[in-house]
Structure 1
Amino acid sequence: MDKLNRRAWGLAMASVVLLAAASTARAEFPEKPVTLVVPFAAGGPSDKIARDLAEALRKRLNQTVIVENVGGAGGTLGAAKVATATADGYTLLVHHIGFATAPSLYRKLPYKGIDDFEYLGLINEAPSTLIGRTTLSAASFAELRKWIATDSTKVNLAHAGVGSASHLCGLMLQSALKAEMTTVPYKGTGPAMTDLIGGTVDLMCEQATNAVPQIEGGKVKAFAVTSKERMKLPALAAVPTLAESGLTDFSVSVWHGLYAPRNTPVPVLAKLNEALRGALKDPELIKRQEALGISVVTDSRLEPAAHKKFVEGEVARWATVIKAAGAYAD
């Protein structure tokens, strides 16, 4: 073998060794803790969901799964952190419906958009509730609707900040009622709920996850739920849907999905998707989710392609609502 051929053979063998090493590294994923970035403050609905998911994923991946809260700018800061992270599967994003509304809400995003991510599957769906201060004279949604119609601008509708689930649901509600209310933004669900309980504001459209304890405690009134069917939770079983209350086809669910940075290796994505599927069958996770009125996803949207198609549909749906309301954020 001449010198040139020996060199070529040596390079070829080196390439084989490197490819084998890379394949082995991917097969052994994860070799260190995985981080789930939640783009909202600790203690909120998304944070609770992520922590339940982290424990279920830990069992499937045989590795520590950490939850990191990166709040701010309606969830865009946390999303940007994941979009720009190393694409190795160790930094993932747990985001809700705001993932699909950000491209319409924000004129400038700190990342390119939904194409900056790999889709791992939808996690769950949760309806919201329309709740009000206990001192409101209305005892039903029909009475509430009449009260709003007298002068909607005098009705104070609270939400947890631009891009939050309560903000989006509130936009949809105003559009359906053809009523422009005075919206009152807060820096999170906690302070918004505190003021609703205290009677400072009139109404709020909030996830059942947070609303149920306040309803059960008699601290707020429940007027309707945003699901297609009535909820089975004892506190909400008698509460009608907005659709049956006269707002035909009104349905808003707050969903959560799992994402990785764009260009994460395919074998890693496959392992993460497999782990997610297993996690969503975990009896303890299902029990905790159902106790909060949340449905774990079991349909085709667990497939990455179907998950992305679903999000693209949500982007288009909410773009129409946001544009009509002129609800933009800088």
Structure 2
Amino acid sequence: MLRRTLMAALAALPLAGPVAAQPAWPTQPIVMIIPFAPGPIDGVARIIGDAMGRDLGQPVVIENVPGAGGTIGVGRAAQARPDGYRILMHNIGMSTAPTLYRRLAWDPVRDFEPIGIMNRNPMVWIGRPSFPGTTLQEMTAYLQRQGTAANLAHAGLGSSSQLCAMLMQAALRSQATTVPFRSSGEVFPELNSGRIDLYCDQTTSALGQVQGGTVKAFALAAPQRLPMMPAVPTTAEAGMPDFQLSIWQALFAPAGTPRAVVDRLNRALRVALADPRVVTRLNELGTAPEPEATGSPEALRALLVSEVARWKPIIEAAGEFAD
């Protein structure tokens, strides 16, 4: 009797089918947060993001979240759900913010999972069209001779242009007056009109100005000349071999994002950066993709930790902080 009851109960159960396979990640669009207002950096992000989307099978959508030198957008990314659907594109400012901002709500190492380095943009020293000189030696001599009467623009606290200005001021023991703006877009009209003497900017921002002849270009802070600026010598060629600065840009995910998701994003990034069409378009913007050898999440984490340590004493010596 008991056996017949059990058999009847088993017969009433639905037949077991194969276990449903989990859909491959990702299954929805990915948002790439850029912690700055729309500008040249968006061009790089869209080129790489579009190529990543093709590999991932889902679009990568750009979301600009500007404010407070990029710290607002980074904070939003840090608080995102750690599922890989909201990631952050940031640059060297990720490593300088902990020193520049005394009340930072996030930590670049603790609160993020590195995905990979995207590209590096060399910095280029440029000046007003009427600047009295054409070489880096003439530029540095002017800074030392004019003292506080000379002025250097930068695009705001924590910007790459501010970091470049800090390095030059320290190298020359210059007393030039620094003039902060909110973006590089605000600097160029003042530079073109002659109200600003000098500015150091990323090649992706300055390329059009240099090619158009609306500014004077003195030197590229990189080991080799740039094909899109062939007439601009490197700082090494111009007599300052130790003055080099390239601004890296990289992708990060919120802390706690599964390693499998981080690896999938890194793989899509590496596929994108190996695409000849992407390489060509990045070169046209004045930048180049990060080599495969330094493209891992571990390489980005090591770079971030070393950059935090590198910039801390430089920023503290300059004494430029946010409250």
Deviates more, 1:86-95 or 1:203-212: 203-212
Q: Distance in 1 between matches of 2:309 and 2:107?
A: 17
- Of residues 45, 65, 69 in structure 2, which corresponds to 1:74? 69
Matched, 1:230 2:225: yes
Matched, 1:297 2:322: no
Q: Report the equivalent of 1:247.
A: 240
Q: Report the equivalent of 1:150.
A: 145
Runs of 4 or more, structure 1, over 6 Å off, are none
Contact 2:113 2:256 in 1 (8 A): yes
**How many pairs are equivalent?**
305
Q: Which of the pair has more CA radius of gyration?
A: 2
Note the C-alpha offset of 1:113: 3.2
Q: Report the equivalent of 1:35.
A: 31
Matched, 1:310 2:289: no
Note the C-alpha offset of 1:276: 1.0
Contact 2:114 2:300 in 1 (8 A): yes
Q: Distance in 2 between matches of 1:118 and 1:169?
A: 27
TM-score by length of 2: 0.91
Question: Residues 26-65 of structure 1: matches in 2 within 5 Å?
Answer: 28-42=24-38, 44-65=39-60
Q: Report the equivalent of 1:128.
A: 123
Q: Distance in 2 between matches of 1:81 and 1:51?
A: 20
Contact 2:34 2:63 in 1 (8 A): yes
**SS state of the match for residue 32, structure 2?**
strand
Contact 1:36 1:92 in 2 (8 A): yes
Question: Residues 1-330 of structure 1: matches in 2 within 5 Å?
Answer: 25=22, 28-42=24-38, 44-233=39-228, 236-330=229-323
Matched AA of 2:293: S
What percentage of residue pairs aligned between the two structures are identical? Answer: 42
Structure 1 residues 96 and 45: CA distance shift in structure 2, 3 A: farther
Q: Distance in 1 between matches of 2:241 and 2:183?
A: 30
Structure 1: runs of 5+ lacking an equivalent = 1-19
Structure 2: runs of 5+ lacking an equivalent = 1-18
Contact 1:301 1:310 in 2 (8 A): no
CA RMSD of superposed structures (Å): 1.4
Q: Report the equivalent of 2:9.
A: none
Matched AA of 2:256: N
